[in-house]
Amino acid sequence: MNITGNTIFIPGATSGIGLALAERLVAAGNTVIVGGRRQELLDEIAGTHPGIDTVRIDTADAASIAEVTREVVSRHPRLNVLVTMAGVMRVEDWTVGPDVLATAEETVTTNVLGPLRLIAALLPHLQEQPDATIMTVSSGLAFVPLRATPTYNATKAAIHMFSESLRLQLEGTSVSVLELEPPSVATDLLPGQRESAFAMPLDDFADEVMTILREQPDATEIQVERVGFLRTRRRAASTPRRSAR
């Protein structure tokens, strides 16, 4: 992915990782459109970041995705990058009974159906561009799960496999598929995560992602150093062991 000269749509970027990357992408010479559900946050971003366009979108709502993607393409016909940033993370305990299913279904709708619907809506337009990119957002937990968040882990594993599969289908076209694989980052994704000593500082994460994009334009997986051990651990676990003789 070229780091400059793009028109980039980032649904789910009114805070956290999405907004931090949006700010840096604008500074790098890109046109950026941020999407989100909360109008007050969009208004705040528009007021404090005059270089960022905003649009209200609910990525858990198929009708909202269909309507807003048409609007974004109409306003920004040179759109050539989609970043499927929106996601939710919920602590679950599957041992306590079926009530957990409501939370799980919400997580699947936002984390899996949302990105798939966005990609389906915008891929025909992206295929018409001379150089386009889809950046999905999975997680280090796609490879080594966290006990407290089983559905979140599963949705991110699904996004990882979908990204790899879509990359194969789009091979030889003008559309590249990147997968951003964050570690725990100091955001409000979970209560207390922003203050967690284990979480990577947000600015450090966003700066390192931009460095990777700048220095490795042909990368297919964007992994900061802090998440690499999870990816490596999964690869090692999936490598067949030879029996001793």
First to last CA, the chain: 47
* Assigned token pair, 172: 């030889």
3-state SS class at 187 = coil
CB–CB of 52/32 below 8 Å? Answer: yes
CB–CB of 36/57 below 8 Å? Answer: yes
> Distance between CA atoms of 84 and 36, rounded to whole angstroms?
12
35 is catalytic: no
**Element holding 105 (H helix, E strand):** helix 100-108
Q: Which of 9, 143, 152, 162 is catalytic?
A: 152
Which residues are the active-site residues?
152
